[in-house]
Structure 1
Amino acid sequence: MTPPSSEADARILIDDLLRAAGWAPADKSQVRTEVPVSETFQVREAGSAVGAVRTVDPGALGFADYVLLDQRGRPLAVIEAKKQAINPYTAKQQALPYAKKVGAPFIFLTNGELIYFWDYQNDDARPVSSLYTRRDLERLVHLRSERKPLAEVEIPETYVRTGETRLLRPYQQEAMKALDHAAELGKRRFLIELPTGCGKTDLIALYLKRLIQAGHAERILFLVDREQLAKQAIEAIQDLLPQYSSYWLKPGVARQEKQITVCLLQTMMGRVEELSSGYFDVVVMDECHRSIYGAWQTALAHFDALHIGLTATPAMYIERNTFQFYQCKDSTPDYSYPIQEAFKQGHLVPYKFATGITTLMSEGAEFEGAQYDPAEFERKWTNEASNKLMMQEFDKLAWANYKELAPGQKDGPGKSVVFAITKHHAARLAQYLNELHPEYKGKYAEVITSDIADADDAIRRFKQDKLPMVAVSVGMLDTGFDCREVLHLVMCRRVRSPILYQQMRGRGTRTAPHIGKEKFVIYDFFGNHEYFNDSDTDIFTGSGGGGYRKPQPHTGPTGRELIELGLDDEWLQAVSYIEVGPDGERVDKREYVTEWEKTVQQGADNDPALVKIKAGDALTSEEEDALAHRLNQPQRYFNEDNLRRAYRKPGGNLVDFIREALGLIKTKSRPEIIEENFRAWLVSKNFSPEQAQYLSLLKNRGISRGKVSIDDLFSPPLSLLNAAGLGIEMFGETGLGNLIDEINSTVLVA
């Protein structure tokens, strides 16, 4: 297909963009085309929300390509259309007089491919992923009229959480001031680094309240990548901000028009096309360092909003793309609070390592580099005797020292989390612990994985009830799990990711004054802390304390994106089977998908929830929960975690997997996926318009050839445009090479 080359061709694409944003191009009460600038409108006078009717003086300005009108017929935005060969940003000065004459506060500049949004009274034009809806633009007009300086909203000294009055800690106040300062300077993206357990969710909920009170925000999206994080976020938001409507948007559930939306990133990936770029005013991304990659970036960068990224990961382990997306200079977050300070000031509880325990893995031992088959690793390093020995040593020491760790802990040995290698391994470890304590009748230790009947209830019981005392898990409790009373962390698996190691360690750092928690113990049977040179006197943070020996580079796929998302890439990509059920039965991925599709197709005419999904109807939240529970049953334990592994799709959600099994999802073409990736990539960067136009040429070459190489710059058609010379002039030789690599790894991944 030949790219559109005329302005008329571009307008065909622009009409499609208008329809996608809910506009009816043929409805003259919504969209006017070829509008003479002398036409009569209700024009807003400066400082007035409601305009007076007057006739604009005709001049030599000609016609506005499109004028978008509000519900009362007043201009909201002018769209300036350009043919695809022209960078639309260059039409700024042509469009500005039109907008001013007709009284439209906003301008869109587009050639049908690149779209720029210009709030010309406040900011420069910036690339966006879609046109805005009428509701988006009307909301922005209202917000502009209500806005006041953030300095006029007082930072509170206390707040009420779960009925308890808490002090806003000094570093939380400092973080708010840092955000205020950056916002007043016109920065639209912010990155906050706070260690696990330092109240990131409380801080951000209170800051969102400030933004709403100052007229900077009305609609807010809070994105997370784990269900546990979603539950914590919605609980905190509804507790701290009861005056603002909020809900958790789930995959098959109808969208609600509420002020605050909590959503899994994996869910938003499947629903992002339902929403315009202007739908949200603020987007918060928790654990943001895991989400600025490839397809994940598409969902995040789609929204033209104030973006606030939260992370517990020290700066040196945050990939440069994250800093670029959040517009941070010199790889420095907008606000950072070191973990050493948190320990020193008593906001986190310190740790110590159990000494004299058996270390199963010998010094420096590796197994197939960083990627390995977990089941093979389990067989190589553990057996019945070693598993029993680990549990005996942990249990004996835990019972001996729990009163020293928390004098107010009533029941021994205190809450404990055991990190296992595989589901099979977790089941064995829990069994051995229960054999050590027959008096608890099998309730002393419990496996918590995605395959148990009700993981949420198991987590609730672990947090609130006396039993189980020990939670044994693989993957599920590594991150996004919060239990203040944890006194013991048991590492029965190897960890080589510095980010994951610090997240696992962070499961024990939360304070618990009600039990007098003074310290917690890490039982590291695989020598992970030695690998990272971590100790209670020289804390491993990657930024001043400790250090670690980097593993030797290895060949083969690295799965970086998936590692950073906290998913086990060695299971997702490199391994041909998945583990299902309480004993970790190994099932071939293809066989699992076949059985899944058969099960869904058989139930599509009689299961009420599947019938609704097949008909394209939305589920209620209760219906979705009940469906997930019905599917996650023996024998195959169909759940999102297992389906993501089987389909090798880290961003999949349950309803999309159902639609796929029913043949309802139209697979996007490779060019369509690349165009989405490219638009998201452009939005996430700070390229000049000329650079964006140049990179669009490289992207188009990549669509036709599969990838881009330096050699392509010296061959037609790019050589006819002097692509090599222009690229070196814009980015430098090294910079151009890096960008080509990034286009291949981020944009052309389909």
Structure 2
Amino acid sequence: MLSDKEKKQLSESDICDLFITPALKSSGWDPFTQIRREVTLTPGPIIVRGNLSSRNKKKKKFADYVLSWKPSLPVAIVEAKDNNHTVGHGMQQALGYAEILKVPSAFSSNGDAFESHNKFPNEGEPIEQTIPIGSFPTPEDLWERYRAFRGIENTRDDLLLQPYHDDGSGKEPRYYQAEAINRTLEAISKGQDRALLVMATGTGKTYTTFQIIWRLWQAGAAKRILFLADRNILIDQTLVNDFKPFGSVMTKIKNRTVDPSYEIHLGLYQALTGPDEADKAFKSVSPDFFDLIVIDECHRGSAADDAAWKEILEYFGSAIQIGLTATPKETKYVSSSSYFGDPVYTYSLKQGIEDGFLAPYKVVRIDIDKDIEGWTPPAGAIDDLGNQIEERTYNQKDMDRILVLNKRTKLVAERVVKLLNATDPFGKTIIFCEDIDHAERMRKAIVNAAGQIAIDNPKYVMRITGDSNEGKAELDNFIDPESKFPVIATTSEMLTTGVDAKTCKLIVLDKSVTSMTTFKQIIGRGTRVDEEHGKFYFTIMDFKKATELFNDPDFDGEPVVIYEPDDTDPPEPPDPTSDDDSDDEEISTTGTTKIRVSGVEVSILAERVSFMGPDGELITESYRDFARKQVRSEFTSLDDFIQRWNSADKKAAIIAELEEHGVLLENLAQEVGKDFGDFDLVLHVAFDQPPLTRSERANNVKKRNYFTKYGDQARQVLDALLEKYADEGIQAIEDARVLRMRPFDRIGTPVEIIKDVFGGKAGYEEALKDLEQELYRQAGS
């Protein structure tokens, strides 16, 4: 039995191993299936400033314990603290994690007892109370509390308890995916046959859908399933990726034929229906054939398209129907919510970026003089074909739709290539153009602006539009992270949605976008994080003021039904000028006459760079400004920083602390200078002190004859450490492996140096600490 004093010497991990975990096990919690330790809920948001990025690990959500009734059903959180804290010290953390997981039970413990918080107490029962360490609630107790909290007491348990598909890789749903899956299954288990999931692009809607279908299929609640989409690429990606585990029971509907020998059917609306009765392939099976229908991107479609998918859903009206969308569409004529009901779960772009699962963006807004000021042709002006130009003022909306200024196209292309050359010439880029003609002219302009790189690599830039077989053939290569080419895709509508371009780093908007739905989908092309390939954020380069839509409250707000459709309402008339939802049907300019003018000079009037701030608003701030704020939030003054730096046994601990706040000193070195050490970078950026280079600090130590108190061999080691510091910095000399390198290996092995030269580990560490104090001695004096 440990004494109180001994218990206070234990680490938090020791408290977990010796007290908390045994208490859970004694209450019946299975350590293999019900107890998960050190669970990362969110990785923390990525900060972008300039061309630099870092992750703010201080905002990482990391639970000490997640307790589950079954692996797929978390029911409680336990936050642990060492015994120097009170029992309830971790409760606020625990409540935050419980809110993320939407569970009613949160606990905090320091090994003496448990502080309990119950979000769904019985009448007369306290919300919070302290319970003995040996009286932790049983799994059955917390499962029943969870059922009452979620309102699922009288439901089909087989649907709720069915495990996820496990492919053996260790991959499991993220917290919001698990919540989306469980909310959907809970709704279905209560008899709800229509459900809407709203999840931002890049958050794994298809993987989430697969797990929903898998669990319903395994439980026998849905034997025949139809997955509906409106693009071949969506179907093909789903077949070979997320839905692959269904194997031989799965098929893609082809030739307008529904093969009843398969259980999982993936199909296009277009393959199942059409304007004529003979086209309605879905009627080849009975109305009760499908038990479950999932509609991907259910917001999309013109009036005619809506009629098409609704016609299919109404025919299979007895089936459970789940709609998926990143952008629920709510207009007078089309309402996702009116058909499916309110979303059972919503996970927004803002939340995804805040959690760190989605990539943040920076916005480069560029104003071109003829767009902003307009262009009025002089009297009698003619275009490149010799035709008279109508005398009126042409503005931004006219550019590349009605009026083509060739020098404007060249200017845009050159500015895009300039940004790529300054960041990553091989960073995947999508340029959204007004129409197919504009996309082709932009492709040509990019080739000319790129120069040698386009000569050496004919597929450096490709036009990927619905009418180009050559471009469409390269689509898979464009979205494949392992494929280097194409790098740049010019398009009109084809890449607006459904293209899983994980490594897309640059989105160029030279297209007028007024539809919030379309804008959200375009932005979604860049929101995926791909750490393996160095993709942490993306840039939006806007030439047409489209990013003003970021200022609209509806950009990341909740969908609002502004009109309940009525069966007596006439169909929505198509709008040939709208850019909304014309996904595959790109604007063809065949037979359209545009005014093309070569001689008009254009120039950039203004250029502004903005970044996502902590509140999701766009701000103008450099990485240096950001680092200054973060350092000053952690250290109250220059003296505070110097004192903590000098008193730290390992300077790496202070550096790690700064990284927790998103301050990467190598990023600062890129802005201030790579010859400065970590200490001086912080002093200069955060506290306006003149910095010294590492070499200057090392030379100052040498000038003070600091080594004279040591023997010859010790002086050799310390002199070599100084040189190592001057070349590589403080972390290099604090790493014990440094003694294995040259020139130390000429003096002796690490063991020989530590034991024979410095008299043991304590002597070596004391000498290293003295050396560091000498390096930073003049600071603050």
TM-score, normalising length from structure 1? 0.48
TM-score, normalising length from structure 2? 0.46
